[in-house]
Amino acid sequence: MNRSRMLNRLIVAFAIALVIGFIGPASAGEKEETSPAQVAAGAKSWADNCARCHNMRSPSEFNDYEWNVIVDHMRVRANLPGDVARNIKAFLEKAN
């Protein structure tokens, strides 16, 4: 990868990190009600999607805010649909 492309990616990643840090998750302080079916679907999606590339981490390894940032980042990287990402977040919030 050439230096210019790498620098552009670094700038974009830094900008995203700043926005997430200053704005925070869209529902900061407000948690959506989750159904047991959504949590179960999230557990399955987490196992199916995340385990493809990562060793499975314990949900208690990160807090809710950290998981939100991680899932939002990985939603883009793994091209996850919004409903799948929301289900994974619901599972991780209930499991930690």
What one-letter code names the amino acid at 58? S
Q: Is the pTM of this model over 0.75?
A: no
Q: Kindly tell me if the per-residue pLDDT of 21 is higher than 70.
A: no
Summarised one tens digit per residue, pLDDT across range 22-79 is: 445 555 555 667 888 899 999 999 888 887 888 878 888 999 999 999 999 999 999 9
Lowest mean pLDDT, pick from 3-12, 16-25, 67-76, 80-89: 16-25
User: How many C-beta neighbours within 10 Å does residue 84 have?
Assistant: 20
The number of domains in the chain is 1
Structural domain harbouring 83: 3-95
Q: Can you list the pairs that 32-37 forms with residues at least 24 positions away whose Cβ atoms lie under 8 Å?
A: 32/86, 32/90, 34/90, 34/93, 34/94
Token pair of 74 as six digits: 């990985």
